[in-house]
Amino acid sequence: MITVHHLNNSRSQRILWLLEELGLDYDIASYQRDATTNLAPESLKKVHPLGKSPVVTDGKHTVAESGAIVEYLIRKYSRDKLMPAEESQDFAPYLHWMHYAEGSAMLPVMLSLYVMRLGEAGAPLHPRIESETKNHFGYVNEALGNKEFFVGNNLTGADIQMSFPLEAAKSLGLLANFSNLTRYLANIHERPAYKRGVERGGQYDLGK
pTM over 0.85: yes
Return the pLDDT at 207. 67
Distance CA 13, CA 157 (A): 14
The domains of the chain, with CATH numbers, are: 2-82 (3.40.30.10), 91-191 (1.20.1050.10)
Average per-residue pLDDT in the chain? Answer: 93
Report the phi/psi class of residue 85: left, alpha or beta, with left for phi > 0 and alpha for psi in -120 to 50. Answer: beta
Return the pLDDT at 108. 93
Report the phi/psi class of residue 113: left, alpha or beta, with left for phi > 0 and alpha for psi in -120 to 50. Answer: alpha
N-term to C-term CA, the chain:
31
Return the pLDDT at 83. 96
What confidence tens digit (pLDDT) does each residue in 81-130 have? 899 999 999 999 999 999 999 999 999 998 888 787 777 776 777 888 89
Distance CA 82, CA 70 (A): 10
Segment-wise mean pLDDT, segments of 10 residues, the chain, 208 residues = 94 97 96 85 92 94 96 90 95 98 95 79 79 95 98 97 97 95 98 97 83
Q: Which helix (H) or strand (E) element contains residue 159?
A: helix 157-171
Return the pLDDT at 80. 79
Distance CA 94, CA 151 (A): 6
Q: Where are the alpha helices (DSSP H) in 90-125?
A: 91-100, 106-116
Distance CA 122, CA 125 (A): 6
